[in-house]
Structure 1
């Protein structure tokens, strides 16, 4: 007797609906005309179709729902899912490439950098793409800009990168963002001569400024007795 659990329904061949010849005309049997064995097979095929269709995404359901035999539906789904599998592989390659080339964008804050990184990790988790915790943490730290280098070194010394997660590292670094910003500003000024001069003038004491002006005026007023008029 054929049962719902019998894989021959899907793998052994499609359901061939019984026919009957009446007055020389062959037609498919009505359900009420089926033998007990044929009724069981038809019922199992219908149940198999319902089980398959209920578990499908909407876009795939629309492509296979017109079929009325479980075997045909299953073969159509298998072909469609092969295409989906190829798309999944392409998506995985794209995400691995994004992870490999992920870097800090000039001008963004630590928090903005962290959000971009975690969004990428979430996409990779959806596809169940394996990444070691140490690999994730190292990538997050090593792509931070130069002003964070001291604090990155501190994290590597005091944190176990095999067990610490990115959220904890981000929280630790957030405590030092003011100092990192100061280092960044200092680097920007040192690389810009005009900014460096302006910074020097702003930090010069009032006494130094007055003394410098006085020395200049004295120099201008002094005329050597040997200088010709």
Structure 2
């Protein structure tokens, strides 16, 4: 027999998109896409995320060109516009408040998706800058006068963890040699 709490969890799981955890963007992106695939007209929503929203057609009226109003769209275009909005809402509901505050002025699902991806993954340039910074810190790493061996080890291990986190290639011999050579003389 299931409990009330289990029923609530199951009911909410189907209606609430997965929440973004900043260190797990790729996992969130694939789970959001799976969540959308379980919805009606999922292909329209995924198309909105990948290619952008419906571009309203224009019409000529009294020598002026203007965008069609929602009521003037075909039934298929109205449906696409509705599901563009639904895709935007699903993505926004899966964002933590601080990320939401950065992207909530965007109206299109594709724009929000791209901004979140950029925020969470960065750009190739920012990765290269980070890699250069870490190599520079590694090359210049030295003990600080008056620092205990524990503090020295702690700073070094934080640097090595940062290097491993971004996937920089570093040989163990190089790490060990740097650690020993940078020790204080006493």
Please report the TM-score for the alignment, with normalisation by the length of structure 1.
Answer: 0.45
1:154-177 deviations in Å (ceiling 9; x for gaps): xxxxxxxxxxxxxxxxxxxxxxxx
Aligned partner of 1:127 in structure 2 is 166
Aligned partner of 2:83 in structure 1 is 44
Is 1:28 paired with 2:69?
yes
Structure 1 unaligned residues grouped into runs of 5+: 21-25, 147-183, 185-229
Q: Which range is displaced more, 129-138 or 57-66? A: 57-66
Aligned partner of 1:109 in structure 2 is 148
2:178 to 115, 120, 139: 139
Shift of 1:112: 1.9
Aligned partner of 1:4 in structure 2 is 42
Is 1:14 paired with 2:49?
no
Count of residues in correspondence between the two structures: 139
1:162-220 deviations in Å (ceiling 9; x for gaps): xxxxxxxxxxxxxxxxxxxxxx4xxxxxxxxxxxxxxxxxxxxxxxxxxxxxxxxxxxx
CA-based RMSD: 4.1
Distance 1:4 1:125 in 2: 38
Is this contact kept in 2: 1:49–1:70, CA < 8 A?
yes
Q: Which structure has the higher relative contact order (CA within 8 Å, separation 6+)?
A: 2
Q: Say which SS state the counterpart of residue 104 (structure 1) adopts.
A: coil
Aligned partner of 2:62 in structure 1 is none
1:68-100 deviations in Å (ceiling 9; x for gaps): 22244446x289559942334322211110011
Q: Say which SS state the counterpart of residue 42 (structure 2) adopts.
A: coil
